[in-house]
Structure 1
Amino acid sequence: MKFKANPNLQIYGAVTMMTHLTALVQEMEGVRLARDIEAVHRMRVASRRLRATLPLFGQQLAGKRHLVWIKAMRGITRALGAARDSDVQIEHVSKFLEPLLPPNRSGVRRLLLRLRQQRLALQPQVIKELNKFEKSGVVAEIAQKLAPFDIYRDRLDVNDPGLLKLANQAIHTRLGEFLDFDAIVDQPEQIEELHAMRISAKRLRYTLETFASLFDDGLKNYLKAMRSAQDMLGAIHDCDVWAVYIPQFMDEERLRTAEYFGSVRTYKRLVPGLTLYQNARRSERESMYATFRGTWAGWKSESLWENLTAILEARLTPVVEPPQSPVENAAEISAQVEAALPEDPEQKSAASSETL
């Protein structure tokens, strides 16, 4: 089936992606300097949002070239994710340490020391991926592709059937994937599935954000619910990570102490604080899970997901064929955009070969 360009999809995608690309670029220097942990967080979010929109609009804007963009984004997003996870751990342990008194401070202070050492060790990889990303020229290439479409944002038809169809398919797909996890909400032992549910919640949230401007209320209530679901599932996952990490950390510190001092005597003073932190995370997990389960039950009793589905159907299902004038207008825009785009080096090379 031959690909057919849709100027409204191109304009909507360009406007959306340009927002995320700009946000990403603004944080690069802050990430490089590593003075503000929020710079890492903001750039990570921007990179994820950009990656979420590329499969939706990339083909319309750049053909198969968008697959190269996705690949280029993958490395920097992964490096930022590891750095952000480390920053969050350090922040949490720091706050936990503040009110503690001996004998509980030693173990938590040692944990904080190791976490900070790990974060420092991650920074070279962050810089490496950042340099690689910058040298790839992907940012400039994406911006160059988006700019000719972005200037036509005032001529966007938000009722274009093609745009509504894409939004409908994308949101329903992500919503269906998310609701498939309903069966495990009452099973707190399903650690891997709950982690997968968190990822699914994130994907649905980004998809809703992408198309929120098509709705009069911006889907505010549903985005609020998805942020809440993502936060709760994220907190549960953090506790599950600690449940595995703390015992391993204690074993490593005991071995390190024995190798350095010839005995584990000094290690013993670390145990009370580490045990206290471990128990606190376990209690936090139980509390957060109860909150999540109660919130989920509340959403179901309010028919939240059914209401969202009804709103999607009402807004995103085209009821009439588009009039002729927008189609002519779209063709005009497409021609103007094509004329504004820089010449493709690959096409130029191919043309030269044919001439020869």
Structure 2
Amino acid sequence: MVKAGKIPDFDCSIRVDILARRVLHGRADDMHSRRAEIGGPGDVTALHNLRIAGKRLRYSLETFAFCFSKAHVEHLADRVRALQDVLGRIHDLDVLIRLLKNRAGQLDGAHKEQVLEMAAKQVEDEDRNRFLRKIFDDRRHRQHIMGLYQVMAAKLRERAKLYAQYEEVWTEWEREHVLQQVRDLR
């Protein structure tokens, strides 16, 4: 698991509301720096690390909620949860797609790259199926591998949509200064 960012001036002997602000500030900074590590949809590890940083931020908001306006903290925690949900679904698909690719590689190493490229393209299912039928001559093998690649293609498209959704959510966060709202809690 990714290490959490350092909490500046962490000191358990100070008032809990001051400590809470320091922890939340550190968690917000960690989210910001994790976001900066993401260069695009292929950054699987960076996306997962952002999800984990989001968990830490949300748990910290929930832990220290009693120090601040309940409604505002709940609103911020809900915003973090929504981002986490999208990132979690992306991560689940990343795991599934990796498993499908591994299985596909076991079944047909010779055509793997060509077929994976086609699976990722935004083409009609019938065009994709026609392409796959040309590649695979053996009927039994063809049905098995075509089903596998059709599932993979669907999951890759689903992931692309989720990544676009993540980008929209993050753009909203930036426009509404969500992380700054966390830092500014009083």
- Establish whether TM, by shorter chain, passes 0.5: yes
**Kept after mapping to 1: 8 A contact 2:24/2:182:** no
Structural RMSD (CA): 2.5
Asked if residue 230 in structure 1 is aligned to residue 84 in structure 2, the reply is yes
Q: CA deviation at 1:220?
A: 1.4
User: Which residue of structure 2 aligns with residue 287 of structure 1?
Assistant: 161
Asked if residue 274 in structure 1 is aligned to residue 128 in structure 2, the reply is no
Matched position secondary structure for 2:156: helix
Q: CA deviation at 1:272?
A: 2.3
**Kept after mapping to 1: 8 A contact 2:97/2:156:** yes
Whose helix proportion is higher, 1 or 2? 1
Q: CA deviation at 1:302?
A: 1.4
Give the fraction of aligned pairs with identical amino acids, expressed as a percent.
Answer: 29
User: Which residue of structure 1 aligns with residue 53 of structure 2?
Assistant: 200
Runs of 4 or more above 6 Å deviation: none
Name the CA distance, whole Å, in 2 between partners of 1:267 and 1:250.
Answer: 11
Residues 36-55 of structure 1: matches in 2 within 5 Å?
none
User: Compared with structure 1, are the counterparts of its residues 280 and 222 closer, same or farther at alpha carbon in structure 2 (3 Å cutoff)?
Assistant: same
Asked if residue 172 in structure 1 is aligned to residue 46 in structure 2, the reply is no
Name the CA distance, whole Å, in 1 between partners of 2:24 and 2:87.
Answer: 20
Which one of 97, 101, 125 corresponds to residue 243 of structure 1? Answer: 97
Name the CA distance, whole Å, in 1 between partners of 2:23 and 2:149.
Answer: 45
Matched position secondary structure for 2:70: coil
Structure of higher RCO (CA pairs closer than 8 Å, 6+ residues apart): 2
Deviation digits for residues 197-229 of structure 1 (CA, Å, limit 9, x no counterpart): 111111111111111122222501110111011
Which one of 168, 172, 175 corresponds to residue 298 of structure 1? Answer: 172
Name the CA distance, whole Å, in 1 between partners of 2:45 and 2:85.
Answer: 17
TM-score (norm 1): 0.38
**Kept after mapping to 1: 8 A contact 2:100/2:152:** yes
Alignment-mate amino acid for residue 160 of structure 2 = E
Gaps of 5+ in 1: 1-59, 61-159, 256-263, 316-356
Name the CA distance, whole Å, in 1 between partners of 2:106 and 2:156.
Answer: 21
Larger Rg: 1
Aligned length: 146
**Kept after mapping to 1: 8 A contact 2:48/2:91:** yes
Q: CA deviation at 1:269?
A: 2.3
Q: CA deviation at 1:265?
A: 6.1
Deviation digits for residues 4-51 of structure 1 (CA, Å, limit 9, x no counterpart): xxxxxxxxxxxxxxxxxxxxxxxxxxxxxxxxxxxxxxxxxxxxxxxx
Asked if residue 211 in structure 1 is aligned to residue 64 in structure 2, the reply is yes
Name the CA distance, whole Å, in 2 between partners of 1:194 and 1:213.
Answer: 30
Gaps of 5+ in 2: 1-11, 110-137
Name the CA distance, whole Å, in 2 between partners of 1:165 and 1:215.
Answer: 11
User: Which residue of structure 1 aligns with residue 35 of structure 2?
Assistant: 182
Deviation digits for residues 168-196 of structure 1 (CA, Å, limit 9, x no counterpart): 22222211111112324552222211111
Name the CA distance, whole Å, in 2 between partners of 1:229 and 1:273.
Answer: 32
Q: CA deviation at 1:267?
A: 3.8
TM-score (norm 2): 0.69
**Kept after mapping to 1: 8 A contact 2:28/2:182:** no
